Amino acid sequence: MKIAVLPGDGIGPEIVAQAVKVLNALNIGLEMEEAPIGGAGYEAAGDPLPDATLALAKAADAVLLGAVGDWKYDKLERHLRPERGLLRIRKELNLFANLRPALLYPELASASTLKPEVVSGLDIMIVRELTGDIYFGQPRGISTLENGEREGINTMRYNESEIKRIGRVAFEIAMKRNKKVCSVDKANVLETTELWRQVMIELSREYPEVELSHMYVDNAAMQLVRAPKQFDVMVTGNIFGDILSDEASMLTGSIGMLPSASLDANNKGMYEPSHGSAPDIAGKDIANPLATILSAAMMLRYTFNDEANALRIEEAVKKALAQGYRTADIHTEGCNKVGCAAMGDAVVAAL
């Protein structure tokens, strides 16, 4: 079992180090090799996704990623920017299914900005399509019109098979949960998502046990903060999923708690926290490593089929929280405020 470890930028290296520590503590013979991506890739090889990094990721069974991006690269040409490395590796590895579970640990009910009764018991699985939509659609770019004014263009597009394969992932996951899928679109305005809705309805005939509902994305954004417990599985396109998963993460207390798995058709996957590189707090040992540690648990579950050790990690996280350990982002009065590395140690000790 070989894992490509790509720490990336900002807080990436410190949070990934904690997840690696936890994986090593399991002592199950995981082989890990590191490579640079994002700004670190640009520094090392002039490319946010160096060839050697891509080759390592392709050869590995799974990829563990920290985060990419730093303001200092904002002035680079677009194709050299860190985010491009992340988008390219998702596309190159065909990781079309992004699973972002928003789960509230009871200990963190008071860390959420929402009332505890609104979020307690929350357990949503967001299934975000990851290799299509306006993120990748052509044409795109910034050009100059005849009148000298500049125009920016991006294209939202999905074909039927892309919609179907992500829909299938959502329905299959729902079958193992509460059998409810809410498909999020903007079918009242956008044809791309009108097709999305039609395909979801067609697909749902293969899953008679699953209750399919539809929601416009603006309403979904509102319902997520009004009554989030109405959701079981939410399935949506790349851009809506990007936005809604950030929103959902705050229901769990902090974006520092939300892991993710990005899977291809054979469950090869890349595992990364849903949050970004937070360069403002990088190197200060205050970042929350739990989303990355929980992403490592998802790796064991989805790619290595090792439910027992996935649960071991998740239980250890729960235990560390129950023992009162909190990083700054989830800290509330009376708890034990610790840094990134100490939080990793607390999880290892709980293992």
Candidates 246, 264, 285, 306; catalytic one: 246
83 binds, among ligand IPM, Mg ion, none (CB under 5 to 8 A by kind): ligand IPM
CA-CA-CA-CA dihedral for 221, 224, 225, 230, to nearest 10: 150
> Which is the catalytic residue, given 242, 268, 271, 345?
242
| Beta-carbon-side half-sphere exposure of residue 158 (alpha carbons within 13 Å) | 30
Query: 139 preceded by cis ω (within 30°)?
Result: yes
Catalytic residue, from 115, 218, 280, 284: name it.
218
Backbone angles phi, psi at 70, to 5 degrees: -160, 140
Active site residue 242: yes
Residues 279-338 that bind ligand IPM (CB under 6 A): none
Residue 51: is it exposed, middle or buried by C-beta count within 10 angstroms (0-12/13-18/19+)?
exposed
* Cα dist from 317 to 292, 310, 345, whole Å: 11, 11, 11
Q: How far is the CB of 10 from ligand IPM (least distance, A)?
A: 11
329 near Mg ion, rule: CB under 5 A: no
Report the C-alpha gap between 286 and 294 in whole angstroms: 18
- Does 242 bind Mg ion (CB under 5 A)? Our answer is yes
Residue 247 binds ligand IPM (CB under 6 A): no
The one catalytic residue among 133, 185, 186, 325 = 186
Comparison of 87 and 163: residue with beta carbon closer to ligand IPM: 87
Q: Does 162 bind Mg ion (CB under 5 A)?
A: no
For residues 305 and 331, the answer to whether their CB atoms sit within 8 Å is no
* 246 annotated active-site: yes
Residue with Cβ nearer Mg ion (70 or 345): 70
Inter-residue contact 127 to 233 (CB < 8 Å): yes
Instruction: CB nearer to ligand IPM: give 86 or 114.
Output: 86
For residue 318, list its beta bridge partners: none
Residue 102 touches ligand IPM, criterion: CB under 6 A: no
Among 25, 34, 80, 83, binds ligand IPM (CB under 6 A): 83
Question: What is the SS3 string spanning 229-273?
Answer: HHCCEEEECHHHHHHHHHHHHHHCCCHHHCCCEEECCCCCEEECC
Residue range at the interface with ligand IPM (CB under 6 A); choices 80-88, 158-166, 321-329, 339-347: 80-88
- Tokens read off for 7: 């720490």
- By the rule CB under 6 A, 182 interacts with ligand IPM: no
Contacting ligand IPM within 114-143 (CB under 6 A): none
Q: Is 345 in the site for ligand IPM (CB under 6 A)?
A: no
Is 86 one of the binding residues for ligand IPM (CB under 6 A)? yes
Residue 135 known to be catalytic: yes
Please give the residues from 223 up to 242 whose contact with ligand IPM meets the rule CB under 6 A.
Answer: 242
Residue 86, contacted partner among Mg ion, ligand IPM, none, CB below 5-8 A by kind: ligand IPM
- 233-236 β-sheet, strand order: 31-34, 2-8, 62-67, 269-271, 261-263, 97-103, 123-129, 233-236, 180-185, 211-216
Binding site for ligand IPM (CB under 6 A): 69, 83, 86-87, 242, 274, 276
Binding site for Mg ion (CB under 5 A): 242
Catalytic positions are 135, 186, 218, 242, 246
